[in-house]
Chains A and B, each alone.
Chain A
Amino acid sequence: MAIETQPERAEPTGRGPEVTGGGERPWWLRMGAHTGLIGAVAGYFFGHWLGNVLGGDFARSALSDQNNVAIVLGYAFAVIGWLAGLGVFNDLFGLMLGKPLPEEPRLLGKEDRGLAKYFRYTLDHKVVGIQYLYGMTAYFLTGGLFAMAIRSELLSPTYHLIGPEQYLMVVGEHGTMMMMMMSSVILGPFGQYFGPLLIGSKRVAFPRLEALGFWLTPAAYVILLSAVLFGGFPTGWTGYEPLATQAGEGMDAYFFAFGLMGISMILAGFNMIVTVINYRAPGMRWSRLPMFVWSMFTVSFLQVLSVPVLVGACFMGIADRTFQTAFFTNQLGGSSFLYENLFWFFGHPEVYILALPGFGVISEIISVFCRKPLFGYKVSVAGMVGVGTLSFFVWQHHLFDSGINPDMRPLFMLTTELISIPTGFIFLVAMGTFWKAKIRFTIPMLFALAFYFNFLLGGISGVFLSDVPADTTEHGSFFVMAHFHYTIMGGLIFAFMAGIYYWLPKMTGIKLNETLGKIHFWTMFIFFNTTFLPLFALGMLGMPRRVFEYARNLETLNDWVSISAFCLGGSILIFLINFVMSLTFWREREVGNPWRARSLEWQLSTPPPPENFKRVPVVLATPYEYGVRNALPVADLNPPPGVIGTAYAPVGGRVED
């Protein structure tokens, strides 16, 4: 509105001649992914050598013919080399040498042009967001391919395609990759990109930590995949001890990659919390904060508080495997229960780390396409905070049959069932928002509706699992599998897709093809349900998880599921074709405000200016006041100098006018 749209900015990066800033060296002389790669390879060999020197005479695990110390140190130094090659430590060493930190150029209005900025340690949160978008998509597609392999094996009740060891490798890679990806799939692309825009900030609090958080994810991806070279790991994504201590070298990759991703999640969480608290524009009260920012804020607390436990557990697992400690070995004074407790103390908040961002994205979208204010803003916030808080008190429902604290099961049953109350708030908000609305069935809206459909089934099946007697049949079976796929894939991934269709025009200036988008939606929705609904029945009929062989009478259902899963894979392929073709060849420009949304990010030019806001805006209203007569615009993007002078200015302490 206040800033004119600048269509020429919609020119995607990377087309046309490479433009580098004035006096900048060409990309191949600057630090970036290519120098990082060199550092990683050098670091791996150094670490491997060091490990052999240090631990060459340590006992080797019976199933591994390599020195685990060498492998773990190889990974560690590879990560350090990768980060050093990217230039992550440059500013740190500069500070140590007394050099002042360079200002982010974009804050002075200088845009970093060219494709190379996506392969560098760029501090722009918008660049990090797009890096995350591609990175998490790569994770998702890889994990999806593993899922296709699982379903291929399960076409027959006996093993026929891949042997049992390979099957477990595929299952473990699929689960771990998806879990690592899901925790960042919305917080990464949309949270990093739109978080600061939605609160009217020019920057995030810790751009270096934010960028470091992203650049750890490719390292975790490669390390996790490297387990394939060692025959994978036999534990699935949960990494239960003492099986993990017994496993081959792939287990080192699992622990290291998951721990690394944990660090990335903690960094992203810290950055988001401090940004939301300290970098809100004047007038962006807590009561005006967009729901998506609320979800990012609560999720960040969950990450910062729960993920350190995972990192600790991974470290202890590595220590058991390399330095011969016995944290998890019962015979030597350790406890396998300890690992189960540590893992699920992280694991259950993690489940809500996956659910809350979906709530946030969907809440934004339904308000826009219902053309109505969000029903019960405070109820929605209470729902998110309530879910987040309760999620720390339920972890032992994963351990109902384990023999741990059996007397506490009624308590954990109660806390688990209590979570459905704040989750119900989210449904209340949705149902209220749809009442007397003017519903537009755009693609983001369709995905949002599918989110509620899937999450309802996922949530209700969760109540079945919280009941201890019913859980005795359902625990560890395909019922659980169906339940969490309904909440994670049916919830989070549908929300992610909604977010892509909704926000991609803002991020790139290009709209995805609508016809293909509708085909993508309907195929994905239908085949998602035909894939995962029968899994509830399979679990009830007694099929345990992670088996490559099952009862012959379950073959028909399994074949149905497998064929549906392949169709679901085809649907994702349609999305991929749409995504790639729309961004490269079709290039349907959309630089305005296609959804007529009120929220702050849509008031900016497309793509947003390098410094986000020429002047710090003054927020005047919530983004949800659709249908309100004489509603104020959400913000004054060009406030008179006096207003900003009396409020605090978030950029480097300087007052701008």
Chain B
Amino acid sequence: MSSAEIQAPAGRHAAEREPQHTWWLVAVWLVLSLAACLVIWFVWYPHLPPGDMTTSARHQQFDIAVLAVSAAPVILGVWLYFGYVLVAFRAKPGDDSDGAPIFGNTKVSATWIIGTSVIVLWLFVFGTIELIGPAGAGAGEGASPIWKLSGNQTAAWTPGANDMLQVQVIGQQWTWSYRYPQFGGMESTVLDLPVNTPITFHVTSLDVIHSFWPYLLGVKADANPLVDNVAYTTARQTGSFIVRCNELCGIWHGAMTSNGNVMSQTAFKVWATAVQLRERANGTLAALPPYSLTYDPTVIPQLGKDLVKVVGVTGAPGYYYGPGNPVTP
């Protein structure tokens, strides 16, 4: 383990004076590090957030566990070293003498620098593999992601065919809404998703910057006005989850939540089709703006909000809704 090199300075120095302390220290450090790593990996890892509901969440959990296992020996090494020197080299009462005039030690410095560099490069390689492998690991990848999740791009979604489900996430002050283009662009305030299906989230906003964060799904993508921010995941378990806003977006930011469920593929198909039919019947689909990757609310009166007239030289303040609308979510 590369962290072993970090402890080496302590070992090498002490060897000159108190060899028995040194080996004892190294042994304690090795035992503690091993114990900490085992506890982290076998006891803590299965319970680490954000859980393993989706592939992206599982990768994040794995990353956090690997980072914790890499960090624990470093932290323990520094703590042990400081603990030892603070006891061993404290000045006795009445002792006014100075310490040993050591100005540096090239070997110790080189060992430390090489050790930390090795750890850093390892973390970089590991992080990059973990970013590219799982198609962005659930993070927002901008409008044209280069690390894509595989799945059939189809106009209609059918269960059991590995079709990519497209879901548009629209943030606005202070609510989330979701549109499903493969179901006629129907809109829902609940984020229902099928299990074992590659999912593409198209995250966008109508006003200020929000951030789409279904914690249990291990997805996080900023919702920027007039920007399509894509994130991928695949749910592995059924169950319900909560979506929160993760970017300060105004006074009700803290209350900007919404619910979601991961359900079986057939149940999802039934639900989505039912919503689509209902919205077609009651005229909602006709009232909605045509599905598009981004929306400019200053030109979409169908959104059903009071549009404040844009006045002034350029109208940059861009206040789409009156101050009292919506008052509370």
Contact = CB atoms under 8 A, between A and B. Distances in A.
Interface stretch (B30-38, B80-88, B267-275): B80-88
Nearest to B130: A469
Contacts of B113: 421, 424-425, 428
Interface string A307-338: 00000000000001101111001111010110
A401 B242 CA distance: 19
Nearest to B221: A401
A410 B132 CA distance: 9
B43 interface: no
Interface in A413-440: 413-414, 417-418, 420-421, 424-425, 427-428, 431-432, 434-440
B117 interface: yes
Contacts of B49: 473, 540-542
Interface string B51-90: 0000011011001100100010011001101100110011
A402 B224 contact: yes
A401 B222 contact: yes
Contacts of B50: 473, 542
A370 interface: yes
A187 to B, nearest CB: 28
Contacts of A372: 98-102
B248 A240 contact: yes
A438 B67 contact: no
Contacts of A550: 254
A400 B221 CA distance: 9
B126 to A, nearest CB: 8
Interface string A437-448: 111110000000
Contacts of B109: 376, 379, 428, 432
Nearest to B137: A469
Nearest to A625: B101
Given A432-B108, A476-B211, A456 B78 contact: yes
A449 B78 CA distance: 12
B300 to A, nearest CB: 11
Interface string A529-573: 000000000001110111111110000000000000000000000
B225 A376 contact: no
Contacts of A326: 314, 316
Contact of A546 (B56, B104, B253): B253
A460 interface: yes
Nearest to B17: A436
B172 interface: no
A470 interface: yes
A242 B64 contact: no
A190 to B, nearest CB: 25
Interface in A612-642: 625-628
B23 interface: no
Interface string A387-407: 000000000000011111111
B317 A475 contact: no
Contact of A336 (B64, B74, B225, B316): B225
A457 B56 CA distance: 26
A81 interface: no
A235 interface: yes
B82 A475 contact: no
Interface residues of A, number: 106
A471 interface: yes
Contacts of B157: none
B314 A324 contact: yes
Interface string B297-324: 0100000000010011111111100110
B247 A240 contact: yes
A477 B246 contact: yes
A324 B290 CA distance: 31
A449 B130 contact: no
B244 A373 contact: no
Contacts of A463: 67, 71, 123
Contacts of B293: none
A420 B142 CA distance: 28
Nearest to B91: A438
B98 A438 contact: yes
A245 interface: yes
Contacts of B211: 401, 476
Contacts of B124: 410, 413-414, 417
Interface residues of B, number: 106
Contacts of B209: 240-243, 336, 402
A424 B142 contact: no
Nearest to B250: A234
B98 A336 contact: no
Interface string A369-384: 0111101111100000
Taking each of A378, A435, A469, which has the highest tally of chain B beta carbons within 10 Å of its own beta carbon? A469
Contacts of A373: 101-103
A403 B78 CA distance: 37
Contacts of A330: 224-227
B217 to A, nearest CB: 10
Interface in A148-190: 159, 164-165, 167-168
B135 to A, nearest CB: 11
B9 A431 contact: yes
Interface stretch (A59-67, A135-143, A490-498): A59-67
B234 to A, nearest CB: 15
Given A432-B108, A438-B97, A403 B131 contact: no
Contact of A472 (B218, B224, B308): B218
B151 interface: no
Given A414-B124, A428-B109, A452-B82, A236 B99 contact: no
Contacts of A168: 248, 250-251, 253
Contacts of A164: 251-255
Nearest to B59: A469
B213 A544 contact: yes
Contacts of B78: 427, 431, 452, 456
Contacts of A545: 246, 248
B155 interface: no
B219 interface: yes
B120 interface: yes
Taking each of A62, A238, A436, A626, which has the highest tally of chain B beta carbons within 10 Å of its own beta carbon? A436
Contacts of B185: none
B208 interface: yes
Contacts of A331: 225-226, 296, 298, 318
Contacts of B218: 472-473
A61 B102 contact: no
Interface in A452-494: 452-453, 456-457, 460, 463-464, 466-473, 475-477
Closest 4 CB pairs of A and B: A59-B312, A547-B254, A627-B98, A469-B137
Interface of B: 9-10, 13, 17, 48-50, 56-57, 59-60, 63-64, 67, 71, 74-75, 78-79, 81-82, 85-86, 89-91, 95, 97-105, 108-109, 112-113, 116-117, 120, 123-124, 126-128, 130-132, 134, 136-143, 145-146, 203, 207-209, 211, 213, 215, 218-222, 224-227, 229, 242, 244-255, 296, 298, 308, 311-319, 322-323
Given A406-B145, A420-B116, 4 more contacts: A324-B313, A372-B102, A402-B140, A413-B127
28 contacts: A238-B248, A240-B208, A242-B318, A243-B208, A246-B250, A324-B315, A332-B315, A336-B224, A371-B99, A373-B103, A377-B104, A403-B222, A406-B136, A406-B142, A406-B146, A413-B127, A421-B116, A428-B113, A434-B86, A438-B99, A452-B82, A466-B123, A467-B67, A469-B59, A469-B131, A470-B60, A540-B49, A541-B49
